[in-house]
Chains A and B, each alone.
Chain A
Amino acid sequence: MDDSTLHDDFSGVARQVRELAHHVDGAQDHRARLRNELLSRHAALYGPERRRASRGVRFPTLRRLGLLAAPALAGAVALSAVFWGLQVSGHQNTQSAEAARITQALTQTIPTVTAWHWTVHETVGHRQYVILYSSALTSNQRIYVRYNRVYLYSNGSWALAPADQWAESGSTADPTMGARDWQWAFAALPEMLQRGDVRFLATRSLAGHATVGIRYSRLGAGGVRVMATAWVDERTGLLVRMQQMVTRAGKALGSDWVDFQFRVSA
């Protein structure tokens, strides 16, 4: 480094600052661990193993268990009443702390998940559908939270859980979710919490869980706006209920809610 242009008086200062600045280095275990994770991720993304990984990483398949009912619009009306929870008038600091707490809980809980069921309550026009789905990991699959994203580890390969459509901010062509898209909705939560453009709602009890509401909105093409609320178990960070309401120019186009149940290993 050439500091020859510096005045002599400042060369001494520069030397001292450099010496102080260099008096720090990352821990060896962090350095080694991060390197391993990066190389694994690189191999999965770009390396010669990419094709093998994309073939090898088999995401748990979606299994439709059945159509339960097709009740009338009354359900949707009831939904709209519960959809708008009380917003916590929380300070940014409180919200950040809550987001960090939930992320930490998720990081610990997600690796224990072995299967999950979800029930989609979908309202389109005047009809409402209730559909059950399930998904299970195989014995050599695990899901983990790394760098605020959920990854599926399968047969020695890593793959990002396909939850980007939930986590992405900004305008998308179609920000609404179809029945199949709900499968990985829970996986978007860590990244969503990091972004900070969410609002926390007052806690409530849902299906026996003490939950906290996390709300965000997305604007799509044609002025379609989706307001979504994730009700998350306060203790485990897992999603208990996800709700979305689709509007255009203030007029409701449809609404859905999905109840999740997770099976975790002991």
Chain B
Amino acid sequence: MDDALSVSLAVSADADSRDAIIAEAAKSDSEAFGELYERYYSRIYRYVYHRVGNVADAEDLTALVFMKALEAIPAYQPRQGGFAPWIFRIARNGVVDYYRRYRHVSTLDDVNHEATDGDPVSRTLGLERRAELRAMVERLSDEQREVVLLRYAADLSFGEIAAAMRKNEPAVRMLLHRGLRKLKAVMDGG
């Protein structure tokens, strides 16, 4: 990245501006794209994982999201919304496409995919916790699930979720409120 960009980065306070500047640089600078990748990999992966429910598909979809982002980055316009909503729109479309194509195809579960990762106890506990969340969010409506995962798996702000889902912020807050109410009922055994 050049000096002017470094200065801009130093004075930018909020993540939105920083991401927008890095995204602008990423149009020609591979290191800048690498920085975006590092900033978003876990968030994209977590969101995708909790949508599809298994490691193999989550890895493939995460790769697909970043490949599509790489191909589309020249057309990215910060004025049309932040970088986070932009890349999560790609992720959401990827998941929708996944379900459209593979809704009839059964996938291997994580027990098979993670047979060699970690010790058996922590692996089992990890799988149980993921299954626990999956069982809970499956009780939500599609939109509630989307908002809950974008909020708590992807760590998006309300404004970013609204932009990613092309809704207004009050609608997103309402969806989250209802989703959490339902989740609470599930946790309380309702």
CB atoms of A9 and B184 under 8 A apart: yes
Among B21-40, those with CB < 8 Å from A are 26-31, 33-34, 37-38
Q: Which of B1-9, B84-92, B127-135 contacts A (4 or more CB under 8 A)?
A: B127-135
> How long is the Cα–Cα vector from A39 to B36 in the complex, in angstroms?
11
A80 to chain B, nearest CB (A): 33
A interface footprint on B120-163 (CB within 8 Å = 1, 0 otherwise): 00000010011011001000000000001101110101000000
**Contact check: which of A10, A23, A41 meets B130 at CB < 8 Å?**
A23
Which of A13, A18, A34 has the most C-beta atoms of chain B within 10 angstroms of its own C-beta?
Answer: A13
Q: A27-B59, A93-B105, A96-B105 are in contact. Are A38 and B66 (CB under 8 A)?
A: yes
CB atoms of A39 and B177 under 8 A apart: no
A interface, how many residues as a size bin? 35 or more
B72 to chain A, nearest CB (A): 11
B interface footprint on A78-113 (CB within 8 Å = 1, 0 otherwise): 000000000000011100110010000000000000
B164 to chain A, nearest CB (A): 15
CB atoms of A17 and B70 under 8 A apart: no
- The verdict on B76 contacting chain A, using a C-beta distance below 8 Å, is no
CB atoms of B183 and A13 under 8 A apart: yes
A residues in contact with B157, CB < 8 Å: 1-2
> How long is the Cα–Cα vector from A245 to B55 in the complex, in angstroms?
42
Please report the total number of B residues contacting A with Cβ < 8 Å: 55
Which of A1, A9, A38 has the most C-beta atoms of chain B within 10 angstroms of its own C-beta?
Answer: A38
CB atoms of B133 and A17 under 8 A apart: yes
A94 to chain B, nearest CB (A): 9
B146 to chain A, nearest CB (A): 13
B30 to chain A, nearest CB (A): 4
- The verdict on B67 contacting chain A, using a C-beta distance below 8 Å, is yes
Closest to A43 in B: B30
A residues in contact with B187, CB < 8 Å: 13, 16
**Contact check: which of B29, B37, B105 meets A97 at CB < 8 Å?**
B105
**Contact check: which of A25, A38, A43, A92 meets B46 at CB < 8 Å?**
A25
Among B93-123, those with CB < 8 Å from A are 100-102, 104-105, 117
CB atoms of A38 and B105 under 8 A apart: no
B residues in contact with A23, CB < 8 Å: 126, 129-130, 133
- The verdict on A77 contacting chain B, using a C-beta distance below 8 Å, is no
- The verdict on B45 contacting chain A, using a C-beta distance below 8 Å, is yes
CB atoms of A26 and B41 under 8 A apart: yes
Which of B31, B33, B41, B151 has the most C-beta atoms of chain A within 10 angstroms of its own C-beta?
Answer: B33
A49 to chain B, nearest CB (A): 9
CB atoms of B104 and A92 under 8 A apart: yes
**Contact check: which of B37, B49, B102, B130 meets A35 at CB < 8 Å?**
B37
- The verdict on A264 contacting chain B, using a C-beta distance below 8 Å, is no
**Contact check: which of B50, B62, B117, B149 meets A34 at CB < 8 Å?**
B62
> How long is the Cα–Cα vector from A2 to B31 in the complex, in angstroms?
31
**Contact check: which of A25, A30, A41 meets B70 at CB < 8 Å?**
A41
Known contacts A5-B173, A14-B180; 8 additional CB pairs below 8 A are: A17-B148, A20-B133, A24-B49, A30-B59, A30-B63, A46-B28, A96-B105, A147-B64
Closest 9 CB pairs of A and B: A21-B153, A93-B104, A20-B133, A42-B30, A26-B45, A18-B152, A10-B180, A13-B184, A21-B152
Can you name 5 A-B pairs with beta carbons within 8 Å?
Answer: A17-B183, A20-B130, A23-B130, A39-B31, A47-B30
